[in-house]
């Protein structure tokens, strides 16, 4: 079984031409590490009035995480922190990917409960 790369909150912007929400970051480097699973992909997911619903979606999706999967640190910091909390609760280990601008690749950080 391959690794899953969870993206708790994908940063997006609205395309002025057609109004569609499009990612503001490339997920290609993360896709090299496993199958991508975007959980929240709209700016309103990080809004205070939507926070509880977003956390329910995160917990449900991350219930499938294993100790070998990754979490990409991108988007809303609180949703990313909650994602780490969920994975630590479910597996005891969270593998975090943080973008390194100088190296132009992800740094892998392991957090253990």
Mean pLDDT of 33-62: 93
The count of domains in the chain is 1
Cβ neighbors of 74 (< 8 A, separation 6 or more) are 7, 9, 10, 11, 25, 80, 99
With cut-offs at 50, 70 and 90, classify the pLDDT of residue 45.
confident
What's the pLDDT score for residue 48?
85
With cut-offs at 50, 70 and 90, classify the pLDDT of residue 1.
low
Mean pLDDT of 66-72: 97
- Domain with 40, as residue range(s), is 4-112
Q: Can you read off the two tokens belonging to residue 4?
A: 């899953």
Q: Can you read off the two tokens belonging to residue 33?
A: 């590490």
What's the pLDDT score for residue 79?
95
- Output the average pLDDT for the chain: 94
Q: Is 88 exposed, middle or buried (0-12, 13-18, 19+ CB in 10 A)?
A: middle
With cut-offs at 50, 70 and 90, classify the pLDDT of residue 59.
very high
What is the number of other CB atoms lying within 10 angstroms of the CB of residue 38?
A: 18
What's the pLDDT score for residue 63?
95
Cα–Cα distance for residue pair 21/13, rounded to 1 Å: 5
Map tokens 């991508």 to a residue.
Answer: 36
pLDDT digits (tens, 9 = 90+) for 8-44: 999 999 999 999 999 999 999 999 999 999 999 988 8
């Amino acid at each position: 079984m391959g690794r899953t790369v969870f993206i708790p909150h994908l940063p997006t912007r609205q395309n002025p031409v057609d109004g569609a929400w499009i990612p503001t970051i490339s997920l290609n480097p993360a896709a090299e590490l496993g199958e991508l699973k975007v959980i929240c992909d709209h700016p309103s997911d990080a809004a205070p009035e939507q926070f509880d619903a977003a956390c329910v979606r995160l917990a449900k999706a991350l219930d499938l995480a294993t100790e070998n999967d990754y979490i990409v640190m991108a988007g809303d910091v609180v949703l990313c922190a909650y994602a780490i909390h969920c994975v630590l609760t479910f597996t005891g280990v969270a593998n975090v990917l943080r973008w390194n601008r100088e190296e132009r690749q992800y740094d892998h950080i392991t957090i253990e409960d």
